[in-house]
Amino acid sequence: MSTTLPPAPGGNDSASKDPVLPDSGGTSLWKDAFYRLRRNPQAIAGAIIVVAFLLVAALAPVLAPYGGEDLPGRTHITPTHIPGPGEVPGFVLGLDRFGGDLLSKLIWGAQSSLLIGVVSTALGLAGGMLLGVLAGGFGGWVDNVIMRLVDILLSVPNLLLAVSIAAALGQGAYAIMIAIGVSQVPIFARLLRSSMISQRGADYILAAQTLGLSRGTITMSHLLPNSVGPVIVQATLTLATAVIDAAALSFLGLGGGRPQTAEWGRMLTYAQDELGIAPQLAFLPGLCIAITALGFTLLGESLREALDPKSRQK
């Protein structure tokens, strides 16, 4: 007589023995990327830095003890001494050479750097995507003309191009925004064009062509949405470059404004003569620039890794 063994607990389905994984089959690329970002310590560190920077910039009127151009401690400044951290009651980080509260200047400088970085990157992204869509979507002579223009812009070093444009437009924050934005246009244009060209032979594009859809419809409704991912990642990385370039242009005297205006690059400019007696005037703004750029870089690199299957960590 044969004996029938009872089924094992949990059934015979081998899938029940596997660990529970997120259902990636029905999720979009961006949802899957967000899931990977939450598990990436580098992405978390970058996000914390970026969020802190955004909060400080947005809440500058609340967080800063004084206004960006206020000089509440000018009576404490002497030709041979600038009070440092804790030397004068009420000024945590000390004073600058004009008598302004250094802590307030750093906080207001975050707002200025955020405005310049976001606006200049948005300008570069808009211009680059326009050229990239025309070149990648139409091809032919349109592609050749646009790419030759992009090659001319890329032949000039990025910072040198920005300096030339800012000098031609005149000193001021708007000149810096336009200069940095124009210098970023060829980067976004070439990246979007390359992404669109790589998608041209995809099955969904061939299916759309078979259905008789127009080139404009295929480009805007199918090709562009599936090609814009790398451009968004690059925009995150470019924000770090924009913050550094804005500080560099202000350091060179192209930012305009009054000498006591709160802006990290301008603060570095006027700290050169006081390095021997007040090194914190140069160290603290430089540290803010470096940490902010690091945050955007960490977040951008993590986003690139999450969206690119070739670089994903298993």
Does residue 155 form part of some domain? yes
Mean pLDDT confidence for 39-67 = 91
CA distance 301 to 299: 6
| pLDDT score at 8 | 45
Tens-digit pLDDT profile for residues 180-210: 999 999 999 999 888 888 877 777 777 877 8
First to last CA, the chain: 51
The CA distances from residue 116 to 4, 174, 260, in Å, are 76, 8, 18
**Does pLDDT of 10 surpass 50?**
no
Does residue 52 form part of some domain? yes
CA distance 112 to 163: 19
Does residue 45 form part of some domain? yes
**Does pLDDT of 263 surpass 50?**
yes
Tens-digit pLDDT profile for residues 38-50: 888 888 999 999 9
What is the 3-state composition of the chain as percent helix, strand, coil, each rounded to the nearest 5?
Answer: 65, 0, 30
Does residue 137 form part of some domain? yes
Does residue 117 form part of some domain? yes
The CA distances from residue 193 to 97, 133, 147, 180, 222, in Å, are 49, 7, 9, 21, 14
Does residue 82 form part of some domain? no
Q: Residue 262 is encoded by which pair of tokens?
A: 């709160």
Total domain count for the chain?
1
Does residue 180 form part of some domain? yes
Contact 239, 169 (CB under 8 A): no
Mean pLDDT confidence for 129-157 = 88
Q: What is the CATH number of the domain that holds 36?
A: 1.10.3720
3-state secondary structure of 65: coil
This prediction's pTM: 0.78
Mean pLDDT confidence for 251-280 = 82
3-state secondary structure of 95: strand
Amino acid at 178: I
Mean pLDDT confidence for 231-245 = 88
Does residue 260 form part of some domain? yes
| DSSP structure class, residue 243 | H
| DSSP structure class, residue 81 | B
| pLDDT score at 222 | 75
Q: Which residues, other chains included, contact 148 with Cβ-Cβ below 8 Å and sequence gap of 6+?
A: none
Contact 64, 108 (CB under 8 A): yes
| pLDDT score at 30 | 67
| DSSP structure class, residue 97 | T
Phi-psi region of 140 (alpha: psi -120 to 50; beta: other; left: phi over 0): left
Mean pLDDT confidence for 127-140 = 86
List the domain range (segments joined by +) for residue 101: 30-59+95-186+231-311
